[in-house]
Structure 1
Amino acid sequence: MATARQCRERPAPTQRIDDPRTVVLVGLMGAGKSCVGRRLAARLERPFVDTDDEIVKAAGLSITDIFSVYGEAAFRDCERKVMARLLEGPSCVLAAGGGAFIAPQTRALIRARAVSVWLRADLDVLVARTAGRTHRPLLNTGDPRAKLKALMDDRYPVYAEADITVPTGTESADRTTAQVLEAVRDFVTAHPAGEAPPA
């Protein structure tokens, strides 16, 4: 699994892709979206954006505080608005919050304006990567493993609608990034921008 050391940005050769669409990384917390996203952005020479960071800026509160003060519904509403704004903006590599892709209107926007990549991780990987982290409101009550399993059961069928699926687990963040880059390159070659999204 990716450790904090493995997630530190390292110099890597740039490999631009001649496609204007934003690359959106989706998946559960602990899948490595931010870690891989930063590396992918560096290789593509594009900005990296984390939607959770953008929500915090917009709300002036931490994710945990938004949940505790306003509730999950308010957070999801803010998440949808932030995703819509980012998808209308310049091309980037975007790490989407775990629930963002679940919203049908957000999923439709991603399909129309971006290339989506699901970082698919097994339960043991997610449990290990999120252990002891208190900034994830959905895991702060009850048994984290049971909660993650419930989220997997609920969300994985929806994540499977992403354009690309890349497994992530014990391999290095560099290796996962290389796999994502290769998969994105193959996808945009087969499905150029401007064509109708694949069914």
Structure 2
Amino acid sequence: MAQLIVLTGFRATGKTAVGRHLARRLGWDFLDTDAELTARMGCSIAELVRQQGWEFFREQERRLLHELAGRRNVVLATGGGAILHQREWEHLRRSAVVVWLRTDLAATLARLRQDEHTAGQRPRLHEEAADWEEETAALLAEREPLYQVGSDLVIDTAGKRAEELAELIFNITIL
């Protein structure tokens, strides 16, 4: 069994909730890269992006992924764009099982609409998009091939609670 499980997927796919349940089930530590970056930077991601820009944020994210590649007995929930750091991602995959929590566009949009923290935690990536729905559709189309190639396991989250998804991943990864 791998000693590092990485959860990937787009915004609002449940990576943090599933990761917490899975880590508890395994008796491992849990780390959310967005929460870790927020703690290290002393401000929200939205504020960091407003102050320093996306390029600065992505560089901090890249460095964190590199740092975390050697961790053991950890469930790691990555930000939705972490998959863009291909070199670091491949480094992570050498010692991890990567699980893509997949949702379709309609489910992603519904989850984002329901999340009162979306605006503060999930800043717009492309201001030129007509609206955040258009932006989400474009980003999903761009990233889904990366998630597919960069993952060992794909789990469709439709209609499943975080606890169910964690148990499913647990049962697959311990065998």
In the superposition, the TM-score normalised over structure 2's length comes to: 0.89
1:114 to 76, 96, 104: 96
Indicate whether 1:45 and 2:27 are aligned.
yes
Report SS of the residue matched to 1:118: strand
Question: Are positions 1:80 and 2:62 aligned together?
Answer: yes
Of 119, 122, 137, which aligns to 2:123? 137
% identical aligned pairs: 33
Quote how far apart the aligned CAs of 1:121 are: 0.4
- Name the structure 1 match of 2:145: 157
Q: RMSD value over aligned CA atoms?
A: 1.6
Equivalent pair of 1:22/1:93 in contact (CA under 8 Å):
yes
Unaligned runs of 5+ in 2: none
Question: Which residue identity lines up with residue 174 of structure 2 in the other structure?
Answer: R
Query: 2:160 & 2:38 partners in 1: Cα distance?
Result: 31
For 1:12-58, what per-residue CA distance to the aligned partner results, in whole angstroms no more than 9, with x for missing partners?
xxxxxxx3521000000011000100000010000110000111122
Unaligned segments of structure 1, at least 5 residues: 1-18, 187-199
Q: Which has the higher contact order (CA 8 A, sep 6+)?
A: 2
Work out the number of aligned pairs and report it: 168
Matched, 1:166 2:152: no
CA distance in 2, matches of 1:177, 1:89: 20
SS in 2 for 1:31: coil
In the alignment, is the contact (CA less than 8 A) between 2:4 and 2:71 conserved in 1? Answer: no
